[in-house]
Amino acid sequence: MEDILERIINLALDMDVEYADVRYQRFSSNLIIADNGKISFYESNTLQGIGLRVFKYGGWGFSSTTDFDSDSIKRMVKNAVSISEAVGSSAKRKRSEIVDVKTVHAKEKVSVKVDPMDIPPEEKIELILTANKNAMISEHIKNSYSRLGDFRDTRLFMNSEGSKIEVDVTMVGFMQMSVAKKNGELERVYSNKSYTKGFEFFKEIDASDFAIKISELALSAVNTQHAKPGEYPVVLDPKIIGLFVHEAMGHATEGDLISNNESILANKLNKQIGSELVTIVDDGRIEGGYFVPYDDEGVKKVRTITVENGILKAFLTSRETAYLLEMSPSGNGRAQNYENLPIVRQTNYFIEPRDFSFEELIEDIKEGYYIKGEGAGGGQVDVGQGTFTFQTGPSYIIRNGELGEMVRGTIISGDILTTLKSIDGVGKDFHISTSIFGGCGKQGQSVKVGDGGPHVRVSKMVIGGR
């Protein structure tokens, strides 16, 4: 495959492009779904293709193909160059530039002991069916829905500057959703465990135990009270704080939104935007997250501190946005696959831990809530307006410094910067998670990400009821 990619680069250079990069990808995946004790879906896919990006006359051109014969390759190169010439020649378009980066030769691979592609379908079916059936722990569990997924994603990058990078990522995961019904009330709880490693992951976690715990949580929550709407001090667990920093802060620090003045953080570099306890990082190699050692522009993913002690220090950048913002590239130019252009995306976004114990975080709260992420349902963020609304999982009342009774999944909302400034306690624990099921969406593309942090206390947050 390297010979084909070299040929593509040379064909593009023969057409006088200023820059070219080419990405080959082979992606193999399996997804199995079990619903109430039966297999309802089993899909196994393999796709591969090549995407070429060229730069000429100040404009980008892109084309892709799944056919590797000579005529298809030539046609792809011609299409990409023609697009770049047309875009670059447009009088109304501002000229694009990219920052210089070092030439890189590298191979990176997730450590795998048991290749999931070598596991027979029968073994996977037995694993998921057993977990799915075991989750039906009561007549009050009306639906047990399970997913088991795995994939191997191999990407080879080469460019006209001489870089050659191969990244090979294997990922596995299990998801459980349980629906409980009692006294006419329904409660749905779901969660997943995913990791970038091989099928040995299922020796480390017991899928049945995990599924049973989700059902137990649904049963515990179904007839509990709803949270009392109002403004309260809260403690957010690592899942919820991860959701908050990814959605509310992560997107707000993406360089394309900054350069287009679409983020509340535009013009706030080196200003205090949060509590001194808050340090936020984007890291492609953090344990527990998704593995991104290099981005899809061939740039090494550096550990990027976007907020340090409450001060906005950096943005996430691609080579083009780094040029526009006069910054170094952070290695955040990511593409969903070979069919898509790289755009600015997060990798693993999280708050760094401090030194509070959980007991210290709740001890001064007279009336508030411990907000949990297990079973949370996502939410909405407007990074231009700086507002957020998130659904949570079953949570707990905090009363006089102690945990009280459980409440059903609720809603939290607020202003992003006000919330950051209201953080007055950051725990010393730390947890990062990722998911094989779904991903982070932007401009029609979805990529795998991770998020998390420690437990965090916010002095004031708006809590909804249902």
Yes or no: say if 455 and 358 are a contact pair by the CB < 8 Å rule. Answer: yes
Could you list the beta-strand ranges (E) of 18-123: 19-35, 38-56, 59-65, 105-109
Alpha-carbon span 418 to 430, nearest angstrom = 23
What per-residue confidence (pLDDT) applies to 223? 86
Alpha-carbon span 78 to 71, nearest angstrom = 11
Yes or no: say if 372 and 392 are a contact pair by the CB < 8 Å rule. Answer: yes
For the chain, the average pLDDT equals: 95
For the record, the structure tokens of 177 come out as 């959703």
Q: Taking 70 as the threshold, does the pLDDT of residue 369 lie above it? A: yes
Alpha-carbon span 159 to 36, nearest angstrom = 50
Confidence band (pLDDT; 50, 70, 90) for 252? very high
Confidence band (pLDDT; 50, 70, 90) for 407? very high
The C-alpha R_g of the chain, in whole angstroms, comes to: 24
What per-residue confidence (pLDDT) applies to 274? 97
What per-residue confidence (pLDDT) applies to 465? 62
Report the predicted TM-score, pTM, of the whole model to 2 decimal places. 0.96
Name the percent of the chain lying above pLDDT 90. Answer: 94
Q: Where in the chain is the domain with CATH 3.30.2290.10?
A: 2-221
pLDDT digits (tens, 9 = 90+) for 64-100: 999 999 999 999 999 999 999 999 887 555 667 899 9
Write the DSSP string, 60-81.
EEEEEES--SHHHHHHHHHHHH
What per-residue confidence (pLDDT) applies to 94? 60
CATH code, 2-221: 3.30.2290.10
Confidence band (pLDDT; 50, 70, 90) for 378? confident
pLDDT digits (tens, 9 = 90+) for 22-70: 999 999 999 999 999 999 999 999 999 999 999 998 899 999 999 999 9
Confidence band (pLDDT; 50, 70, 90) for 466? low
Alpha-carbon span 438 to 449, nearest angstrom = 10
What per-residue confidence (pLDDT) applies to 438? 87
Q: Taking 90 as the threshold, does the pLDDT of residue 380 lie above it? A: no
Yes or no: say if 176 and 143 are a contact pair by the CB < 8 Å rule. Answer: no
